[in-house]
Structure 1
Amino acid sequence: IHLIPVLSIVFQILCLFPGVTAVTLNPDTAYPRLWVSPCCTQVSVGDIQPNLPNNPERFTRYNIVLGSQALASGQHYWVVEVGTKTAWGLGVATASVNRKDEISLCPDDGFWTLVLREGLLHPPRPPRRVGVYLDYGRGVVAFYDAGDMSHLFTFSDRIEKHLKHDILSLTNGHGQRLK
């Protein structure tokens, strides 16, 4: 019932503010199997990186990397190229998420994510590029197929903690790229 006005507002904002937020990844948060590119805009899954410090920021149980920027206000939109991967997760997270223990990628654990597993997502045709829209003031996180701007999913929650800009969770393949 409340989804139609939210989507209308999101579409209006995207038309008024067509700029895309620059996203960079924080390699200090990356799970040891995730390799962040030197420019911090791409991540891929590989062998465990040797000699990484087990710092407090690093995820130690899941293929997750956080963005470098913390957001506390405003409206933001960015695009993640997921290509033809059959398993991925992306979205936003609070800066204080648990990085060392078992978690769920859900709002109760500080994650607002869209997940593709075994190629399953509604609609049945998985996108190659996912647009992520965050309106911090309204508590909206919305996901779009960036190819045709069709709506995939929207969270409408109060987001009261500082968010990390973007999270990526990879389970197969190489080269998720942020735009």
Structure 2
Amino acid sequence: MTSLVTGPDGRARCAWSGEDDEYRRYHDEEWGTPLHGDRALFEKMSLEGFQAGLSWITILRKRPRFREVFAGFDPAIVAEFGPDDVERLMTDAGIIRNHSKILAVISNAALVREMADGELDALMWSFAPTASARPRPRDMSDVPAVTDASTALSKALRRLGFRFVGPTTMYALMQSAGMVDDHIDGCWRASGD
């Protein structure tokens, strides 16, 4: 399996970024970049939950509509969503219409709303391993789907009542939010460790 691809700009990137311009932009500007803030991490948690069982590019393409219909992922607003909102969301073809996932986002928003400002951020980042915890992946086979840290984060969130936060989903969140840096060795985004 090829672990790197060279884009039209001549830069080597992780192979998953492929040929799609939006995927390359996401790889170059977002994936693996440290993300902080309760609202931003709530959005990331929500979108990663919707992604379970689907490709990330599907979610990425629908992200603008997700943001629109979920009030910018403001936990205080989403926590107030009721049955009419659920019905509205279930009829919106611009998002993933999964009843269980929609209810989980609303339930998770209520939990975030009850937390102190910055508490979700601090909790999630407390599970970020040190940069030296493992060597930079040399190819895609070196990138795990689950780690001890993602399993521990998943358990901590589940104990608080969060849903759709399994260990694989949380590892994807950790990668995308920059808690771990899984850019493949040779990728232009790989930090110079």
Q: Report the structure, 1 or 2, having the larger strand content.
A: 1
Larger radius of gyration: 2
TM-score range, shorter chain: under 0.3
TM-score (norm 1): 0.28
Q: Report the structure, 1 or 2, having the larger helix content.
A: 2
